Amino acid sequence: MTASEEKFTRQTLLEVQPLTPSLFTLRTGRDPGFRFRAGQFARLGVSKADGSLVWRAYSMVSSPYDECLDFFSIVIPGGEFTSELSRLREGDRLLVDKQAFGFLTLDRFVDGRDLWLLGTGTGLAPFLSILQDFGAWERFERIILVYSVREARELAYQELIAGLAQRDYLAEYAHKLQYIPVVTREAHPGALGQRITTLIENGELERAAGLELSAEHSRVMLCGNPQMIEDTRAVLKKRDMHLSLTRRPGQIAVENYW
């Protein structure tokens, strides 16, 4: 099979940054023909010692217009893929599928005034891509990014989030964004301290945002721990909010990140 016939490209790792013993970010080159919509994911491949390939899905952190691809990963102890991936260093090669996948994209919603982005752990990744794309800022009046982790040291990409307001193409829209960090296992200044579902049920999340979560105006994206997604969908269902489908537009879009 020739390189042009393969379903993936071989990209060079340009940067690997550990954040904690179990979290790291990586940046690769980008094939000129690779296209994706903000919120989508790519399949990444690594070679094992025996020469076999292992593939996993990773949402792009980067904007659809960036020259490089950024990803956010957790190390799963004994994990077949992340154990190999975490050993890679700058200059090593990573396989990237030529096609992007996923439906955690803004076209899932046909209307809406307020965009809520609720993520846990590495589920932050697709929301950062969406926030670096102009479409969300132009379309919605308010954007609320809620990022939940267990410990404060796991709060990743804080500089990127804070710097969105300084980007020339977003400057006039920066007032639309509100960032609400959540740290559940320790007290942290400026962060809420309970699970996302609890914060919705007791009204604290809405009070922090100064905005109501409603079926009429709110459009909610969920990404991260599958249990969080399931529980949050159940809580939102009580507010008459449902998964947005092609045949039945709704208020919720999800991505199970592992």
**Residue where one domain finishes, among candidates 97, 123, 145:** 97
> Is residue 64 within 8 Å of residue 36, measured between CB atoms?
yes
Find the domain containing 115 and state its range.
106-256
Q: How many domains does the chain have?
A: 2
Q: Tell me, yes or no, whether 110 and 82 share the same domain.
A: no
Question: Would you say residue 126 has pLDDT above 80?
Answer: yes
C-beta neighbour count of 47 within 10 angstroms: 14
CATH number for 58 = 2.40.30.10
Low-confidence winner among 4-18, 59-73, 102-116, 240-254 (lowest mean pLDDT): 4-18
**Residue where one domain finishes, among candidates 97, 131, 149:** 97
- As a whole number, mean pLDDT of residues 196-212 equals 98
C-alpha to C-alpha distance for 258 and 256, rounded to whole angstroms: 6
1 located within any domain: no
Q: Tell me, yes or no, whether 71 and 15 share the same domain.
A: yes
Q: 128 by DSSP, 3-state: which?
A: helix
What would the pLDDT profile of 75-121 be if each residue is shown by its tens digit? Answer: 888 888 887 888 889 999 999 999 999 999 999 999 999 999 999 99
14 located within any domain: yes
Q: What are phi and psi of 204, to 5 degrees?
A: -70, -35
Q: Tell me, yes or no, whether 128 and 211 share the same domain.
A: yes
> Is residue 39 within 8 Å of residue 106, measured between CB atoms?
yes
C-alpha to C-alpha distance for 225 and 194, rounded to whole angstroms: 15
Question: Would you say residue 34 has pLDDT above 60?
Answer: yes
Q: Give me the pLDDT at residue 45, please.
A: 95
Higher-confidence residue of 94 and 171: namely 94
Q: Tell me, yes or no, whether 134 and 231 share the same domain.
A: yes
pLDDT band at 201 (very low <50, low <70, confident <90, very high): very high
Task: Give bridge partners of residue 89 from the DSSP assignment.
Answer: none
Q: Give me the pLDDT at residue 80, please.
A: 85
CATH number for 245 = 3.40.50.80
- As a whole number, mean pLDDT of residues 167-181 equals 93
C-alpha to C-alpha distance for 200 and 66, rounded to whole angstroms: 35
**Residue where one domain finishes, among candidates 76, 97, 118:** 97
What would the pLDDT profile of 206-236 be if each residue is shown by its tens digit? Answer: 999 999 999 999 999 999 999 999 999 999 9
- As a whole number, mean pLDDT of residues 181-190 equals 97
pLDDT band at 258 (very low <50, low <70, confident <90, very high): low
Q: Tell me, yes or no, whether 111 and 163 share the same domain.
A: yes
Q: What is the CA radius of gyration of the chain?
A: 18
pTM: 0.95
234 located within any domain: yes
Alpha helices in the chain (DSSP H): 82-86, 125-131, 134-139, 158-163, 196-201, 204-209, 226-237
Annotate 57-106 with DSSP letters as a single string: EEE--S-TT-SSEEEEEEPPTT-TTHHHHHT--TT-EEEEESS-B---SG
> Is residue 165 within 8 Å of residue 131, measured between CB atoms?
no
228 located within any domain: yes
- As a whole number, mean pLDDT of residues 156-164 equals 96
Question: Would you say residue 256 has pLDDT above 90?
Answer: no
3 located within any domain: no
Apex CA 60: angle with CA 56 and CA 135, to 5°? 145
